[in-house]
Amino acid sequence: LVTGEFGPFRQRVYDLFHYASQETGGQVAAYIPELAKADPDAFALGGCTIDGQRLSIGLNEGDETREFCVQSVMKPINYAIALELLGEEVVHTYVGREPSGQSFNEITLDRLRRPHNPMINAGAIMTSALIRPTHDMNSRFDFVQRVWRSASGGEASSFDRATFESESHHADRNYALAYFMREHGGFPEEADLFTTMELYLRCCSIQTDVRRLAAVAATLANGGVNPVTERQVFQRETVKDVLSLMLSCGMYDFSGEYAFTVGLPAKSGVSGTMMIVVPGVVGLALYSPRLGAQGNPERGVEFSRQLVRSFPWHVYAPI
Ligand code: GLN
């Protein structure tokens, strides 16, 4: 979007946001007690273009600046970090790149006994195991937080300790996934199961808002260079891999449907957040805690559908 087009773009996004706000279906995630406290009516959107123009909108008082946990939106970031540390070939000996077709926390592995992809719980536990496994927890988590800060345009993300503790006490399924992978010899030798789980759960509880998250999405839209600081956060090759898997696997077992109807790389999380990447154009972030059957925010999905009706951004729209 060149400067002259930003005004009409912003207006259209406002209209689509208000249209999507009429979607009131879905339920707030209850399996993590702290998340169940979220305001079901909250709705916010942030945008950042690849030339650094920004917008943010909130439906109710306070929504625009409301902080929330990234939850599964940490998955593309931990995958990107693992790729940059170890390279594509090594990373994919530990984790596949195929949609699982099953729910995000299903206990299942692929034919090579790897988690299917880095965008579901098992795969993100695995990419967490690959992030500096021999370093101590604080330095590993600081390292991840520093990447979030650079990708957010220099604005630090906080950490929601209450959600981290709440989830840590209700993480049986995630532990089951980790034990299952360890039983099948899937973990890297140096990785410890408990510290891997702690890092994974800490990363899920990184806290941000739509403004900062839109800058992260814009960094991906801009080939790894944050449009606000112009800093190279990720290599171009890394971004290509991350966006490919967001397109095929980013929306859990709704990913095929989303790729068909929306045709954009996106990632959702059970807190109700979502980032949408329009490569070479804009990064968008949404927050709306009511989730549909597959764990995606209903309003986020509705907004996405309307977005590609208004703009020719479906990956195959130009055909
Ligand atoms: N922290 C959540 C979990 O591990 C992340 C899952 C999600 O956002 N879908 O269950």
Predicted ipTM of the assembly: 0.97
Looking at the structure, tell me whether residues 27 and 81 fall in a common domain: no
Looking at the structure, tell me whether residues 157 and 82 fall in a common domain: yes
Looking at the structure, tell me whether residues 85 and 165 fall in a common domain: yes
**Single-letter amino acid code for the residue at 242:** V
Give the per-residue pLDDT at 1: 66
pLDDT at 269 over 70: yes
pLDDT at 309 over 80: yes
**Could you tell me if residue 54 is inside a domain?**
yes
Phi, psi of 226 (to 5 degrees): -65, 125
- From the CA of 204, how far away is ligand 1's center (Å)? 7
- From the CA of 279, how far away is ligand 1's center (Å)? 26
- From the CA of 319, how far away is ligand 1's center (Å)? 36
- Grade residue 4 by pLDDT with cuts at 50, 70 and 90: low
C-beta of residue 45 within 8 angstroms of C-beta of residue 284: yes
Tell whether residue 200 is among the known ligand binding residues: yes
Instruction: Over range 65-78, report the average pLDDT.
Output: 98
Q: Of 204, 220, 255, which residue constitutes the final position of a domain?
A: 204
Instruction: Over range 261-287, report the average pLDDT.
Output: 98
Tell whether residue 19 is among the known ligand binding residues: no
User: H or E element: which one contains 225?
Assistant: none
pLDDT at 261 over 90: yes
Give the per-residue pLDDT at 2: 55
The pTM assigned to this predicted structure is 0.97
Q: Of 204, 235, 262, which residue constitutes the final position of a domain?
A: 204
Tell whether residue 270 is among the known ligand binding residues: yes
Looking at the structure, tell me whether residues 80 and 200 fall in a common domain: yes
CB under 6 Å to ligand 1: residues?
A: 71-72, 104-105, 121, 167, 174, 204, 269-270, 295
How many domains does the chain contain in total? 2
Looking at the structure, tell me whether residues 80 and 7 fall in a common domain: no
- From the CA of 72, how far away is ligand 1's center (Å)? 5
Tell whether residue 28 is among the known ligand binding residues: no
Ligand 1 atom closest to the CA of 167, numbered from 1: 1
Assign residue 137 the CATH number of its domain.
3.40.710.10
**Could you tell me if residue 284 is inside a domain?**
yes
**Could you tell me if residue 38 is inside a domain?**
yes
Q: Of 148, 176, 204, which residue constitutes the final position of a domain?
A: 204
pLDDT at 236 over 90: yes
Pick from 74, 100, 105, 267 the residue to mutate for probing ligand 1's pocket: most ligand atoms within 8 Å of its CB: 105
Ligand 1 atom closest to the CA of 105, numbered from 1: 10
| Ligand 1 atom 3 nearest Cα | 121
Instruction: Compute how many other C-beta atoms are within 10 angstroms of the C-beta atom of residue 281.
Output: 18
Cα separation of 276 and 96, whole Å?
22
Ligand 1 atom closest to the CA of 173, numbered from 1: 10
Query: For residue 208, what are the β-bridge partners?
Result: 68
Looking at the structure, tell me whether residues 192 and 79 fall in a common domain: yes
**Could you tell me if residue 315 is inside a domain?**
no
Take residue 181 and report the two structure tokens written for it. 């992978």
Pick from 70, 102, 117, 121 the residue to mutate for probing ligand 1's pocket: most ligand atoms within 8 Å of its CB: 121
pLDDT at 147 over 60: yes
Per-residue model confidence as pLDDT tens digits over 73-117: 999 999 999 999 999 999 999 999 999 999 999 999 999 999 999
Looking at the structure, tell me whether residues 177 and 219 fall in a common domain: no
- From the CA of 120, how far away is ligand 1's center (Å)? 8
Per-residue model confidence as pLDDT tens digits over 169-210: 999 999 999 999 999 999 999 999 999 999 999 999 999 999
Cα separation of 280 and 286, whole Å?
19
Take residue 205 and report the two structure tokens written for it. 């509880």
Give the per-residue pLDDT at 249: 98
Looking at the structure, tell me whether residues 86 and 29 fall in a common domain: no
Looking at the structure, tell me whether residues 211 and 302 fall in a common domain: yes
Q: What value does the mean pLDDT of the chain take? A: 96
Give the per-residue pLDDT at 17: 98
Cβ contacts of residue 296 below 8 Å, gap of 6+? 251, 252, 254, 258, 268, 274
**Could you tell me if residue 317 is inside a domain?**
no
Give the per-residue pLDDT at 116: 98
Three-class secondary structure of residue 252 per DSSP? helix
- From the CA of 122, how far away is ligand 1's center (Å)? 10
Give the per-residue pLDDT at 190: 96
**Could you tell me if residue 316 is inside a domain?**
no
What is the percentage of the chain residues whose pLDDT exceeds 90? 98
Looking at the structure, tell me whether residues 147 and 212 fall in a common domain: no
pLDDT at 3 over 70: no
Give the per-residue pLDDT at 5: 85
Looking at the structure, tell me whether residues 259 and 167 fall in a common domain: no
Ligand 1 atom closest to the CA of 205, numbered from 1: 1
Tell whether residue 31 is among the known ligand binding residues: no
- Grade residue 132 by pLDDT with cuts at 50, 70 and 90: very high
Domain that holds residue 18: 3-69+206-310
Looking at the structure, tell me whether residues 197 and 210 fall in a common domain: no
Give the per-residue pLDDT at 173: 97
**Could you tell me if residue 318 is inside a domain?**
no
Instruction: Compute how many other C-beta atoms are within 10 angstroms of the C-beta atom of residue 138.
Output: 9
Per-residue model confidence as pLDDT tens digits over 239-257: 999 999 999 999 999 999 9
**Could you tell me if residue 229 is inside a domain?**
yes
- Grade residue 287 by pLDDT with cuts at 50, 70 and 90: very high
The 8-class DSSP code of residue 279 comes to T
